[in-house]
Amino acid sequence: MTRYKCECGKEKDLAKATIVLIDGKWVAKEALCECGLYMDSKPTEGMPSLKRTEPSLSKKNDRLWKDTKEKFLN
């Protein structure tokens, strides 16, 4: 979920947002505050940080490529 904050101090968490161009500014349509302003969010706030931990992505597994290359060349 992304956390949207308004200038008046109110906050809203949205799981989905539709980005639209209103008055020359890109805003989330669902982030309209009760005061009439569109709420804003920071890109890192509420965004998950994913870390891939698969062994095939490790630099220590370079031998996998070497073994495969040897099989094809022999």
DSSP 4-72: EE-TTS-EEEES---EEEETTEEEEGGGB-TTSPBPB--TTTT--------GGGSGGGHHHHHHHHHHH
pTM of the model: 0.53
Q: What is the pLDDT of residues 45-69, one digit of tens each?
A: 556 677 777 766 666 656 667 777 7
Delimit the domains of the chain by residue range.
Answer: 1-47
User: Which whole number is the average pLDDT over 24-31?
Assistant: 90
User: Using 50, 70 and 90 to split pLDDT, how confident is the model at 6?
Assistant: very high
Distance CA 59, CA 30 (A): 43
